[in-house]
Chains A and B, each alone.
Chain A
């Protein structure tokens, strides 16, 4: 199996009995070297998809490949690091011992354990039993485990879950640094600001299939202009005639114009010349969260 993508799924489907499929004909493409956000509401099929990518569960239909190898195969997993679901470690062993056991399973040298512990800044507590770890420390340990094999592809499921703000910032920086090393990162998250800050491209999944895909900019769409003016009817009549205004709607007592923000001064000039008092003229753009909520509510496909 060969693929130009680091991760590719074609018609990936997972059914459990007669219930609606958890993942339904999912087509996901993640290019090499990018940080790809994988977002969706709870129960959308994100974790099920990630589990199929690492071979923990088998698809009912469709195929998935990672770095050109069948997903979940030893050849693929030798180049993939993953943290999926809640971090799970032997509670009676220290963080270092847990990683030592995993390094033996992975067939990587013991020296990698100290390296990854240092990278996730867990070295000072590495010899404590993991039963004494906070959720944030377990997350770091899970990330360390994912890095053991120096993977080309990282699959991260809610990596900042349970971390304090400082920890979240550190993990985000770590993910950025991993991407700078030309690693591909598939990041599942429901923190939209996290995805917005980190990801090059985003796939939005709902009811088991992708409903939107593109760069953050593409998904957020073109910026618009919000105009508060009086009288509003006269303002509407004037801007309606302007060729640079592509769309026009009224929202919360203001006009929202589909026009390039850099033409704001020209629009303002027209309105003022026509005797309209302009109290606000500001560029606006929906956040990824607003786009996401809109998609989830509507369930309408959108492709950038």
Chain B
């Protein structure tokens, strides 16, 4: 328990923890609310579509916000996860810590607990920022602020946290495997953008790849989101995703398995590998 306190103190004092969150929220708000609203305002009055505005109002908070978690905010979580362990190798501080706390699994568990607490803060902050944006837009448009039900919000927060946790755990694994940050972040982003993106893209014409894509992080992430918002929506722009989709419960199970598998492999590598 005291090791958890140490790791919480450490992650709290790291500027990169909050810098990442600030950048993630700023960019998230900009691309999810400000740009779409500017686009809506720049459309001629007669051609404006009520559906475009509806996506920006408080009533659509869950579906609009949670759709950004499977990859966009996931990429930030991946970076956070890499930094958590990769930097320890770069600074040599893993060695320093292990000379005080030789139980590697306990140290790993403490770091993981601290990471997961910070991801709760990330999830809440992102939702609050998005909620504030939707409220401002509703005020400007004179629309009613009909918030989603509490249960929907809680489920969305839980799904958001799980999605961040899976990507962060992948980051932790890569940071440990590469004993550093640069390559780990590079490979993580490359995997998310290129490998999953291209395989899913070619999957529309190659059946085997379509089947493989069912196991991907983004497939299951977007499928979980689809289960929450009630519709399987394509996502455009960088990191575009247009399927395949699986059932929400299957997605939940697969993502949980990924989380456990990434944690298990990381623990195994940490436990067995020499620290030099």
Contact = CB atoms under 8 A, between A and B. Distances in A.
Interface of A: 51, 54-58, 72-74, 77, 82, 84-93, 97, 100-107, 142, 145-146, 148-149
Interface in B91-141: 91-93, 95-103, 107
Contacts of B15: 92
A82 B97 CA distance: 11
A92 B92 CA distance: 14
What are the 3 A-B residue pairs with the smallest beta carbon separation, nearest first?
A: A88-B92, A104-B6, A57-B274
A101 B99 contact: no
Interface magnitude class on chain B: 20 to 34
B99 A77 contact: yes
Interface string B255-276: 0000000000000000000111
B13 interface: yes
Given A102-B96, A105-B107, A90 B10 contact: yes
Contact of A74 (B10, B96, B103, B275): B103
B99 A54 contact: yes
A88 B10 contact: no
Contacts of B274: 51, 56-58
Tell me the dominant secondary structure on chain B's binding face. Answer: helix
B101 A105 contact: yes
A89 B96 contact: yes
Contact of A101 (B10, B91, B92): B10
B9 A101 contact: yes
B29 to A, nearest CB: 27
Contacts of A54: 98-99, 102
Contacts of A56: 95, 98-99, 274-276
A142 B100 CA distance: 12
Contacts of B2: 104-105, 107
A104 B2 CA distance: 5
A88 B107 contact: no
Interface in B161-203: none
B15 to A, nearest CB: 6
Given A72-B102, A88-B93, A148-B100, 10 more contacts: A51-B274, A54-B98, A56-B275, A57-B276, A58-B274, A77-B102, A85-B92, A88-B96, A101-B6, A103-B100
B100 A102 contact: yes
A106 B101 contact: yes
B155 interface: no
Given A88-B92, A104-B3, A104-B5, A93 B99 contact: no
Contacts of B91: 88-91
A54 B96 CA distance: 11
B6 A105 contact: yes
Nearest to B3: A105
A93 to B, nearest CB: 6
A1 B179 CA distance: 34
Nearest to B104: A55
Interface of B: 2-3, 5-6, 9-10, 13-15, 91-93, 95-103, 107, 274-276
A73 B102 contact: yes
A148 to B, nearest CB: 7
Contacts of B5: 104
A86 B92 contact: yes
Contacts of A74: 102-103
A97 B103 CA distance: 22
A90 B93 contact: yes
A146 B274 CA distance: 21
A55 B93 contact: no
A105 B276 contact: no
Nearest to B15: A92
A261 to B, nearest CB: 46
A72 B275 CA distance: 12
Contacts of A55: 98, 102
Residue of A55, A73, A103 with most partner-chain B CB within 10 A? A55
Given A101-B9, A105-B6, A89 B93 contact: yes
A106 B2 CA distance: 9
Nearest to B272: A58
Contacts of A142: 96
Nearest to A149: B100
Most buried by B among A72, A97, A105, A106: A105
B58 to A, nearest CB: 38
A92 to B, nearest CB: 6
B20 to A, nearest CB: 14
Nearest to B274: A57
Contacts of A57: 274-276
A85 B275 CA distance: 12
